[in-house]
Amino acid sequence: MRRSIRVSGTIFVAAMLCFLPAAVFAQANGGPRMDHENTLPPEPVGPTPMAPDGHPDLTGLWNGLADNLLGVPNQMHNVGIEVGPDSTRDIHSGVQIATWPLQKRKPQNNEQNERAATLLRRMGSNRPIYKPQYWQRVKDFDANSNEEDPSNNCMPAGVPRMGVPSYIAQTPTYLVFLYPGQGGLIATATSYRMIPTDGRKHTNLEDLDGTWNGESIGHWEGDTMVIDSIGFNSTSWFDQLGGYFHSENMHVIERLHRDGNTLTWTVTVEDPDVLLEPWTTTPRVALLNPNPKAILDESLPCSERDFAHVVTKEHH
């Protein structure tokens, strides 16, 4: 009993730390706190600014409203669960999921909240289809993610797990993406990407040393920026949850589409070594910080402090 209480406390503190950067960021930039009552994506507002070359300008600070994309509501949306005030839908399958009114929620303590969050994050039907010989490995990785998660100990999340960039700078010949670090149980280091859009071709895969982010090259398809990445190591997982490992032959195609003050990010993962078929994520929608003076604050040093206290397999 004493052990479970301690773990619950540990996880709770870790969860709070996960939200710390966003909370600090919100205060620094005067943004409102977002208390989610649904996981519906934001509706686009305003015109889409265009760059001098005629393409949409993706420059901006995204998700800058204290809306941490790693929070439970966004993670639910990321796995394709769209919760409205009275209804819930699995975006991938279209299935309606039973929903009970907010006012009638059964009281839960923090431990129950955490366990429910673990289920909520995994309930979506949009799952990559691995070859059968790897099904058990994925399950084992997920079940033992407290120990197995390759992003533990401040290691990079890698592409595409790192998600929607928090800041994009766009020039005529390259994009710069910034990803602030996270604290807590899923502590990750600050990361960045510099993505050429000058028409160059990929280096031969055989000549690339596998890396966390791979070699990324962008080009426009109409108003959509398409970023093609190869040359990965086989260390990272390609989604936030689930133990979704990959081989060095992973090929990632990211699509970013700006509509007014929203940025929709969709990823297709191809890996014929381990997947039966390509897998496409549920589109994730980021919101532009409307404050033109907003900046990304310095991330706290990434420091892993929680693992020594974890005594069960309960996890996020």
Partner 1 sequence: MPMQAGTLKEIAGKALVIAALAALFFQGARGQSNSSKASAGAKTTPATAATADDANKSSTSEVADTLKVAAEAVGLARWSGVGGQRLPEVDVINTMEIWGSGTTYVYNQSNKPGEPGAAVKTEYHAALGYNPPAMRVEMTRSSSGAPAQAGAVTQRTIEVVRDKYAWDESEIGAGLVPGKGTATPSMASVSNRLLQLWTLPYGAIKAALAAGDKTKVTTENGAKVITFPLSGQLAGVTVKATLDAQNEIAKVETRTDNPALTNLITETEYSDYKDHGEIATDVKSPGHIVRKQGGHQVLDIQVKILDANNPYLVFPVPENVKNAAAH
Stretch that binds partner 1, among 51-59, 135-143, 166-174, 223-231 (CB under 8 A): 135-143
Q: Quick one: DSSP state of residue 313?
A: S
Q: Which of 28, 45, 51, 143 binds partner 1 (CB under 8 A)?
A: 143
Q: Which residues contact 63 (CB under 8 A, 6 or more apart)?
A: 69, 164, 166, 286, 287, 289
SS3 191: strand
List of E strands, 114-214:
167-170, 174-179, 191-196
Structure tokens at 289: 């910080």
Q: Mask 276-295, x = binds partner 1 (CB under 8 A)?
A: x-------------------
Q: How far is CA 166 from CA 68, 124, 180, 190, 287, in A?
A: 10, 25, 7, 11, 10
The answer to the question of residue 169 lying near partner 1 (CB under 8 A) is no
Give the span between the Cα atoms of 203 and 226, in whole angstroms. Answer: 17
Q: Which of 26, 72, 91, 286 binds partner 1 (CB under 8 A)?
A: 72
Cross-strand partners of 170: 175
Shorter beta-carbon distance to partner 1: residue 114 or 271:
114
Give the span between the Cα atoms of 167 and 114, in whole angstroms. Answer: 30
Closest contact distance (angstroms) between CB of 37 and partner 1 is: 5
Shorter beta-carbon distance to partner 1: residue 14 or 195:
14
Q: Which of 20, 24, 38, 235 binds partner 1 (CB under 8 A)?
A: 38
Closest contact distance (angstroms) between CB of 131 and partner 1 is: 6
Per CB under 8 A, contacts with partner 1 among 74-133 are: 76, 81, 83, 85-88, 90, 93-106, 108, 112-120, 122-125, 127, 129-133
CA angle (99, 185, 108) in 5-degree steps: 35
Angle between helices 110-121 and 2-29 (to 10 degrees): 70
Give the span between the Cα atoms of 164 and 70, in whole angstroms. Answer: 11
Closest contact distance (angstroms) between CB of 92 and partner 1 is: 9
Q: Which of 31, 60, 64, 71 binds partner 1 (CB under 8 A)?
A: 71
Closest contact distance (angstroms) between CB of 43 and partner 1 is: 12
Closest contact distance (angstroms) between CB of 164 and partner 1 is: 17
φ/ψ bin of 258: left (φ > 0), alpha (ψ from -120 to 50), beta (otherwise):
beta
Shorter beta-carbon distance to partner 1: residue 58 or 83:
83
Q: In the complex, which residues of this chain contact partner 1 (CB under 8 A)?
A: 4, 15, 18-19, 33, 35-39, 68, 71-73, 76, 81, 83, 85-88, 90, 93-106, 108, 112-120, 122-125, 127, 129-133, 135, 138-139, 142-143, 242-243, 276, 312-315
